[in-house]
Amino acid sequence: MAIRVISDKCNGCGLCVKSCPVGAIEVTNKQAVIDLDLCNYCGSCVSACRFRAIVVDIEKQPIENLDQYKGVWVYGEHFKGNIAPVVLELVGIGRQLADDRNTELAVVVLGDGLDHAIEELSGYPVDKIYLYEAPELAQYDGERYSRVLADVIRELKPEIMLAGATTQGRSFMSQVAVRVYTGLTADCTGLAIGKDDGLLYQTRPAYGGNVMATILCPYTRPQMATVRHKVFPISPKRSNGAKPEVVRLNTKPQLFSSRSEILDFIESCEETVNITEADVIVSGGRGIQDPANFALLEELAKTLGGAVGASRAAVDAGWIPYCHQVGQTGKTVCPKLYIACGISGAVQHQAGMSSSETIIAINKDPDAPIFQIADFGIVADCLEIVPLITKKIRAMRGEI
Amino acid sequence: MKFDPETNALIREGVESQINPFDLYALEEAVRVKERLQEQGDEATVVAMSMGPQQAEEALREAISLGADSAILLSDRAFRGSDTWATSYALARALLKLEPDIVFCGMQAIDGDTGQVGPGIAVHMDYAQATYVARIESLDKKKMVVRRLLENGYEICSVRLPAVLTVVKEINEPRTPSLRGKMNAKKAQIPVWTAEDIDAPEDKLGFQGSPTQVVKVFSPPHREGGEKWSGEPDELADKLVGLLKELEIV
């Protein structure tokens, strides 16, 4: 494996120098020179070069016949038998991928007492539901679940495996991928089948959303990806009366050992907390000035059927709990509407919300960076505007 | 007790290197656990470990200034091009040489931000694991009880030791370096371990050992600022309500 510059093609333009995230390239005597001690083979320069002067030589070969892997699988994450909303989004994109590969779409569900989950999934265009039911699997346990799913994958050999990029999906899938020795791409925002090679092209943001990378898993199977919530629309319901075939998998209790045990679960007392699932987020920053003022945002969020978010500044000031934080060290969200109130919009905050469908920013400072990405910028004091909007909407609905 | 930042430190402009923000919480928690154990009269040390180019040594010195007793850098041309599979494999091989009781990782790095390396390390090492830990409720020689931050609440979970933990920001507030820490950091010798030192076959390392491959890197669609409105609060609020209607939010 090596990366090299073809000297005949390189004219020293320097595009590769700018593209390199680790500063490993210099132009000397009109030739790009790559410092192999710094290079991490990310491929940025290869795609940046307009003259195809940088190549990565690949010597890898698959170790087994990859044609024996067939079918697109979606991991049916559920909470107490209720299918997680992201699963229905994965069924939508999974259906497309399966059709493009001319193969079947299956959902694999692990747990105990899954009748409700089957019923929920049956209304969607899924060909098969693989069920792995055992009392020991009633609750998610990473060690136990990953041993079970890795075993099922080795036996049934799916070509593609998708899961939601939830806290469960991200930790679960990375354990499975290590066990079966295959690739896993986190937090994908784009998935497509390559027309010529039939491979799964997985696109994801990196470096806080400043860079997009397309990733392949050419030599091992399944090709695994976790997908962010709300990136793909929920699958349309099945139009004909057909039902998916339900396949009950044989359980192997010898796989059920685990070194951890769930003792308790404390549901979050605040109902407006799950910002990753909200269609509307009303978010507050330093401009909120006082923790009590978050009540104004809560009222608006409630009126709009949304959730309350916050910038790091507001969380660090102790005005609102961490689970509300949006941004690089908080959550990444992509709601239909994001209303940023008194948030200046540092790049770290933008990294968590810039893929929202519509952004409205309300800020007193006309030069706040948030205005550079907001579709609608309102130069005003959010503490004045927000309660007015709430009042007007409620009046319009005849509530006051 | 040993400590491990998830993947290598973030590299800025190819020269300076600093600890990935999430790993600061992991380091702080490791140091707090060590201090608690020492108060009880138990022995404990914190080792900071990173995989990356030579410059990552700076981040490891920072870790020592923040309370780590020593540090180890995994650096070898053979590690280059590692994806999360190969990164967690190499780190696991190195960690197994030290046989730590607890491995602390940040929940994710801020360059790749996959969150996959911590759980991967646990599987490669065959250790128990707990991800997204927001609090250590209790700790004894055989097990620990942790509070995990999930989307819809907290899970209280008992984990047998040895174990790998990945921690969230909520777990603590990291300290600033002490004067003594800074002095220790300055004079610390940081050994560099290569592929040979961790007994790892080259076909499982770096680009060769990585199942995934980056084929294209590009800039995301640029987002432009749109209309800007100013005026009387009442008028602005009316306009906004109109906009919300147009967007079919109300």
For the structural domain made of A66-255, what CATH number should be given? 3.40.50.620
Residue A272 pLDDT greater than 60, yes or no: no
- Which member of A185, A273, A388 has the closest CB to residue B233? A388
| Range among A92-101, A343-352, B110-119, B214-223 rated most confident | A92-101
Query: Which H/E stretch holds residue A156?
Result: helix A142-156
**Angle separating helix axes B233-246 and A382-396, nearest 10 degrees:** 50
Which residue do the tokens 């005949």 mark?
A: A8
Residues of A whose CB is below 8 A from B166: 171
Any CB–CB contact under 8 A between A90 and chain B?
no
pLDDT of residue A277: 83
Please tell me if residue A24 touches chain B, with a CB cutoff of 8 Å.
Answer: yes
pLDDT classification of A59: cutoffs 50, 70, 90? low
Task: List CB contacts of A91: < 8 A, sequence separation 6 or more.
Answer: A74, A105, A107, A121, A124, A125, A126, A235
* Separation CA A23–CA A44 (nearest Å): 11
Q: CA of B222, closest CA in chain A: separation in Å?
A: 9
3-state secondary structure of B71: strand
More confident site: A27 or A37: A27
Residues of A in contact with B224 (CB under 8 A): 372-373
Instruction: Find chain B residues with C-beta within 8 A of A44's C-beta.
Output: 217
Cβ pair B126, B99 in contact under 8 A: no
Q: Which residue has the higher pLDDT, A342 or A355?
A: A342
Inter-chain residue contact A215 with B85, CB threshold 8 Å: no
pTM of the model: 0.85
Chain B environment of A258 (Cβ under 8 Å): 128
> Cβ(A19)–Cβ(A42) under 8 Å?
no
Considering only CB atoms, which chain B residues are within 8 Å of A79? 152
* Residues on chain B touching A138 (C-beta within 8 angstroms): none
Q: Provide φ and ψ at A160, rounded to 5°.
A: -135, 140
The reply to whether residue B131 touches residue A380, judged by beta carbons under 8 angstroms, is no
Cβ distance of B250 and A265 shorter than 8 Å: no
A2 Cβ under 8 Å from any chain B Cβ? no
Q: Which CATH architecture describes the domain B2-209?
A: 3-Layer(aba) Sandwich (3.40)
Alpha helices in chain B (DSSP H): 21-39, 56-65, 84-98, 117-125, 179-187, 206-209, 233-246
Euclidean distance between CA atoms B216 and A47, whole angstroms = 6
Query: ipTM, 2 decimals?
Result: 0.89
Locate CATH 3.30.70.20 in chain A: 2-57
Residues of A in contact with B77 (CB under 8 A): 36-37
Of A250, A297, A307, A298, residue with least CA distance to A277: A307
pLDDT in tens, A143-183: 999 999 999 999 999 999 999 999 999 999 999 999 999 99
CB nearest A377 (choices: B129, B154, B228): B228
The shortest C-alpha distance from B183 to chain A (Å) reads 28
State the average pLDDT over residues A327-352.
91
DSSP state of A102: T
B215 vs A329: CB contact, 8 Å cut-off? no
- A37–B250 CB contact, under 8 Å: no
pLDDT (tens digit per residue) in A109-144: 999 999 999 999 999 999 999 999 999 999 999 999
Question: How confident is the prediction for chain B on average, in pLDDT?
Answer: 90
SS3 for A318?
Answer: coil
Residue A228 in this model has a pLDDT that exceeds 80: yes
Burial (CB count <10 Å: 0-12, 13-18, 19+), residue A60: middle
Among the partner residues B14, B210, B234, nearest to A24 by beta-carbon distance: B14
Cβ–Cβ below 8 Å for A186 and B116: yes
A276 contact B CB<8A: yes
Query: Could you tell me which residues come within 8 angstroms of residue A119 by beta carbon, excluding any fewer than 6 positions away?
Result: none
Which part of chain A is CATH 3.40.50.1220?
275-396
Query: When comparing pLDDT for A294 and A60, which is higher?
Result: A294
Q: Which of A308, A268, A263 is nearest to A284 (CA)?
A: A308
Q: Do B208 and A174 touch (CB under 8 A)?
A: no
User: A272-295 burial, b for 16+ CB within 10 Å, e for fewer?
Assistant: bbbbbbbebbbbbbebbbeeebbe
pLDDT < 50 regions, chain B: 1-15
For residues B112 and A63, give the distance between their C-alpha atoms in angstroms, rounded to a whole number: 27
Nearest to B4 by CA among B81, B78, B96, B82: B96
pLDDT for A273: 58
Architecture of the domain delimited by A275-396: 3-Layer(aba) Sandwich (3.40)
Q: How far A38 CA lies from chain B's nearest CA (Å)?
A: 6
Separation of alpha carbons A400 and A275, rounded Å: 28
Domain boundaries, chain B: 2-209
**Per-residue pLDDT, A246:** 97
Query: What pLDDT sits at residue A270?
Result: 56
Interface A-B, measured as beta-carbon pairs within 8 A, has a size of 289
Closest CA to B1 of B165, B180, B116: B165
- Tell me which chain B residues have a C-beta less than 8 angstroms from the C-beta of A377: 225-229
Contact residues, A window 206-265, toward B, CB-based 8 Å cutoff: 206-220, 258-265
CATH 3.30.70.20 applies to domain A2-57: yes
The shortest C-alpha distance from A157 to chain B (Å) reads 17
What percent of chain A has a predicted confidence (pLDDT) above 70? Answer: 98
Closest chain A CA to residue B223: A373
Token couple for B32: 């707090």
| Residue A58's pLDDT band (cuts 50, 70, 90) | low
Contact B226 A374 (CB under 8 A): yes
Report pLDDT for A307: 93
* Contact between A213 and B214 using a beta-carbon 8 Å cutoff: yes
Joined together, the tokens standing for residue B192 give: 């560099």
Q: Do B213 and A58 touch (CB under 8 A)?
A: yes
Name which of B244, B245, B248 to mutate to probe chain A: the one with the most chain A Cβ atoms within 10 A of its Cβ. B244
